[in-house]
Chains A and B, each alone.
Chain A
Amino acid sequence: MTAIPHETTHASRTAGIAYILKKSLISALVALVLFSLMVGVRTEAGSEGQLTYWTRFGEVAALVAVVFGGSIVIELLRQWIGPNGTDSLVPPAVRSGMSFLGRYLAPALLIFTFLVPVIFYDQRYILDLGILVLTYVMLGWGLNVVVGLAGLLDLGYVAFYAVGAYSYALLATNFGWSFWICLPLAGILAAFWGVLLGFPVLRLRGDYLAIVTLAFGEIIRLVIINWQSLTGGPNGVSSIPRPSFFGIPLDNSDNGLAARLGIEYSPTHRIVFLFYVILALALLTNWVTIRLRRLPIGRAWEALREDEVACRALGINTTTTKLTAFATGAMFGGFAGAFFATRQGFISPESFTFQESALVLAIVVLGGMGSQLGVALAALAMIGGFELFRGLENYRMLVFGMAMVLIMIWRPRGLIGHRAPTVFLTKAHAISSDLVKEGHG
């Protein structure tokens, strides 16, 4: 009995080598054809507008070799792991250890984040990177309400980010209003736009919803570019006021914060202040989301994500449920946008392209739609990864796209695939058969 399965696996493995080679050869051939012209011949417009070209057969050969080797490795891995996929890779002991780690990871990460400005006080670069990561954490958490909780795929999230940024920039430069007055206004305006988008798309779902939100995001961007009298068009809005410490400016003047506290002025003060502002905003987003999940509206979002038809059958008002999801997500996007405007001091439509929406969406998806910790970790990984590839401007979007495809194939539920219901019965109830008998009730 035991010998037979052993023999069959052995046989399949020996037959496998020829099979693997054949498959890899086909892949290499396909790669050769694909890359032959696109990579093998490089075109460039000359000085008088006429095209020149030169050949790069070395690169094609290298790419084909990589594909050949890569597909051999993938096939071998597939045979080694077996059809069960990744489940057999992780033994139960490791998994319980990971869940133990998961319980303490979030508090540890939070404490570390609080201490970042203290530890890295002298390293401006790390502080700036930290602010950037936290901005994306906040955006990710905001989009998570729409995509992760309510299950509405929003490809135009950056529109609300833009609305928030331009609201603050225009209010501050035209009327001289302070950041702390404009921040809630930016959030409210973005939420308003969220409802405005939400109304027409109520009947749509899935892919159609995604495309309409994408179109909405593009429309906002195009209007910003073309409405030059208001937004400055492609030149953007510059010299946006920096935030103040509740009315006390953070500068080198006599009534600045440093002078009032009697300490020596340093430009790092403002960076540290910004760091804590965005941390507070992000934590606010997180806190509100967690609280909302325990309210009826949060439960309705999750029900909507799981099954819209069942949701309606249960008497949940899908209209208000969807609209609140859009409005809440948009509001946090607006907050983040206002913060972005005050941090940069300059905004232009360049910052609000579809790529940005896709990046935030990728963070949410990679983080495992609905998991707050996962989104934070994904933002850290994504933005950190982008920083690593900073010198390779073009390649990093290529790698980003590949990562998105691979994650979808490998772990469609994200790194922390977490979709556990937030409510469940703690006690088992016995149900009498009278209640479930066919034809009754």
Chain B
Amino acid sequence: MLNYDLVVVGGGPAGMAAALQAHEEGIEKILILERADTLGGILEQCIHTGFGLHYFGEELSGPEYAGRFIEQVYNTDIDVKVDTMVLDISADNVVTAVNNFDGLLTIQAKAIVLAMGCRERPRGALSIAGSRAAGIMTAGTAQKYVNMDGYMPGKTVVILGSGDIGLIMARRMTLEGAKVKAVCELMPYSGGLTRNIVQCLEDFGIPLRLSCTVVATHGKERLEGVTVANVDEHLKPIPGTEEYIPCDTLMLSVGLIPENELSKNAGITLDPVTNGPVVDEYRETTHKGVFACGNVLQVHDLVDFVTEESKLAGLGAAKYIKGEKAEDGVVHTKGENGVRYIVPQNINRATDKDVKLYFRVGRVLENVTLTVTCGDEVLLSKKKRKMTPGEMEYITLKAEVVKHLPADSTIVVSTKEA
């Protein structure tokens, strides 16, 4: 059995930032376990730019952003095992992993950071009728084929879902010579950034069809086409609006799901809205000494925010290892009136830091008053021009405000449109 102070599960941006932060706090024995053959996580295939504007003040590509952290990690004595899959985390923080050079590994950790990222929602979850032909894939799978394997996964493409990955892939496929026929979005608004709608779709004349979905796929062996239809306000296809679009590829960009099988098996409580662990302000889960950060905790829009959150988790893990993590009862958080969730779900009253409450709204809101209350007391109030489900928001609570709240009370974040 190996012994480490901190074991980080996942060597993407989240895992690396957490490990580096803990290292900076003086934690000595740190191990990063990564299932791919390099550090970097999903950034390795995100070759477009737009990463790092907040964190580095520069516009970097995914591999460049990851590269800066990879270099830092390798300049420390943090141990890294790539091509290594974690199979299990026990109640007493023993990590079991496997690879093809050490075989089975068991590692006793003082603290663990979960940074496994997320996965794409597959076709099955959508129940699109039709054939099981080849050529139906998630946008992320297509991205790996194009950007890392160097193969075209299709020539004529329809994309379902206008999240950023879908939009980015529309441009990538077009630049590499494919014809993207349409991007269909079930909702009446796009889930992606405006910049991506302009620069990935409008620049290339790719139509964005809102309130529209794919109702059937056609073709016996390779996909030959899809039927799209408009949807009503209940998101149900409207009969008579069906249209056949010939294409050899259907790419799905219909949502990301935090990958929490390990967390679930370890008995960690998950938030039914985020599908990530319930955490406190340092991102400690309900399992003592186990922290979570990045897309395994909540799906982020910007890697810069992943880095920020992960440094917080790394700091928390370091404090935990050093026995410095203050505890004096918790207050809970809750979203209301259009606020779908809050991370963190719990805040230690004894927290030594101001707490950013991250959240998303459930629909597009304009001229919003955002309030944070506890019982009858209004803790904070803020005006916002516009809020969309596609953008993660936050509001900062001062540490001294939290300190004065009764233990077990609930902080409510809610919105009100003018």
Q: Do A and B come from one complex?
A: no
**Interface residues of A, Cβ cutoff 8 Å to B:** none
Residues of B at under 8 Å CB distance from A? none
